[in-house]
Structure 1
Amino acid sequence: MSPPDRIVVRLASPALFVGASADGTGADTDVVTDEHGLPYLPRHRLAARLRAGAADALGAAPELAAACDEVFGRRRSHGADRMLRVGHAVLGEDVRSAVARALAGRDEPLRSVLRRAVTDAYTALESGTAVGPDGAPEPGRLRTNRVLLPGPTLSATLTWATAPGEAHWRLLARACLATTRIGLRTTRGRGRVDVRLAGADGDPHAVTLRLAAPVRKGPDREGVRV
């Protein structure tokens, strides 16, 4: 079986990927989109959540601490010591190609109208009171948030500076399983995700569980997966 070459993120609830959209939607918090109006999860946010998931996973497997530093860099480093680079988590190639073809050669203002329609197809506006630092609503402060609707699966490519070993894969797989939310700190139930490793073959869930499994060591064997 070929090793995974990407991370897939399935949205299980509306997600707040706050950022600048291609045309601006007038919401207090907008959703980040590409030049074609398609929402995506920026790579630095995905990497940050994976590192946080890896830190949680170390509670049950402290022996993977060295692998965590190698995969994600020491002290949140973005330098050459980090083995792994993840790409933006984007919609599938078929969707992106179809949208690019639909927008190709379109003049303004039609191009902006179509691009906004693309964004509207994947997002919705939510209204509610603003939330303070303690998590409580602040009366009199009505806000609108544009959220990414649940259902789509986003995919981010994996690029390794050096070939990963078993411990690196186990650490990354456990980081994926531990990453269950992505978005703003105060999510009100938003941003629930399933994060898995995927390759050319095999079910992503099964592949991730296999790579995350601990190894069993005994007098007659060493490094054998349970």
Structure 2
Amino acid sequence: MSAPGRVVVRLASPALFVGASADGTGADTDVVTDDHGLPYLPRHRLAARLRAGARRALAVSPGLEDAVGEVFGRERSHGRDRMLRLGHAVAGDAVRTAVARALAGRSESARAVLRRAVTDAHTVLETGIEVGPHGAAEPGRLRTHRVLLPGLVLTSELTWAREPGPDHWRLLARACLATTGIGLKGTRGRGRVDVRLAGDPDEDPDALTLRLAAPPVREPR
């Protein structure tokens, strides 16, 4: 078994990855996209959710507390003290290559239309009443949100600043399993995700992640 080199994020429900899209979609709440119009999950947001998942996992594995600081760094830290290095979670190579080829050589106006079509293919526009600070609807405050469609699969490349040990892999695998929501309004059924580690293409990410998350085998006395 080769060491996992990727974190795979599968959207199980519509999600709000709020940010700036390539050309702007006219929504009050836009979705973050790359220069080709493809939605992605910024690495700092993924790292923050995984760190929160790791903290939750400590409830059943308190012995891994030191590993949290080693893998993810100090709280709110983005410095060199963390071992784990994540890339942006992006669409697959085949999708990104196809979109890049479709955009190549076209005029900027044609590229803008195609980028918008790419974004529209992965999102839907929803309309709702703005909710105030106390949870009540604000009269006359109609808002639109650009929402990612479920089924989208994003992949983040992972590397390590130094060689990880079994505890580091165990913590990361448990952090993935404990990360079940990403994006805004998760308490309203939004942003449910499955996060797994992936290695060889022919290896099941679910089985790989569960195997790495398993407690260490105790030697018989």
TM-score range, shorter chain: over 0.9
1:23-172 paired onto structure 2 within 5 Å: 23-172=23-172
AA aligned opposite 1:115? R
Letter in 2 for 1:107: S
Q: 1:184: Cα distance to partner? A: 1.2
Relative to structure 1, is the Cα distance of residues 134 and 59 closer, same or farther in structure 2, using a 3 angstrom cutoff? farther
Amino acid at match of 1:166: P
Contact 1:22 1:35 in 2 (8 A): yes
> Given that residues 39 and 122 in structure 1 are in contact (C-alpha distance below 8 angstroms), is that contact kept between their aligned partners in structure 2?
yes
* 1:160-191 alpha-carbon deviations (Å, 9 max, x no partner): 00011100000000000000000015552110
Instruction: Compute the TM-score of the two structures, normalised by the length of structure 2.
Output: 0.96
Deviations 1:32-85 (A, max 9, x none): 000000000000100000000001001111100011110000223211110001
Across the aligned residues of Structure 1 and Structure 2, the Cα RMSD in angstroms comes to: 1.3
Residue 12 of structure 1 corresponds to 12
Alpha-carbon distance in 2 for matches of 1:147, 1:177: 24
Q: Distance in 2 between matches of 1:53 and 1:137?
A: 31
What is the DSSP-based 3-state SS (H/G/I as helix, E as strand, rest coil) of the residue aligned with 1:174? helix
Number of aligned residue pairs: 220
Extract unaligned runs of 5+ from structure 1: 221-226
Identity %, equivalent residues: 75
Which residue number in structure 2 is paired with residue 193 of structure 1? 193
Residues 134-157 of structure 1, C-alpha deviation per residue, up to 9 Å, x if partnerless?
A: 444333321100011011110000
Query: CA separation in 1, counterparts of 2:7 and 2:75?
Result: 23
Where does structure 1 differ by over 4 angstroms across 4 or more consecutive aligned residues? Answer: none
**C-alpha contact (below 8 Å) 2:87/2:158 kept by paired residues:** yes
* Change over 3 Å in CA distance of 1:210–1:136 after alignment to 2: farther
- Match in the other structure for 2:212: 211
Segments of structure 2 that go 5 or more residues without pairing to the other structure are none
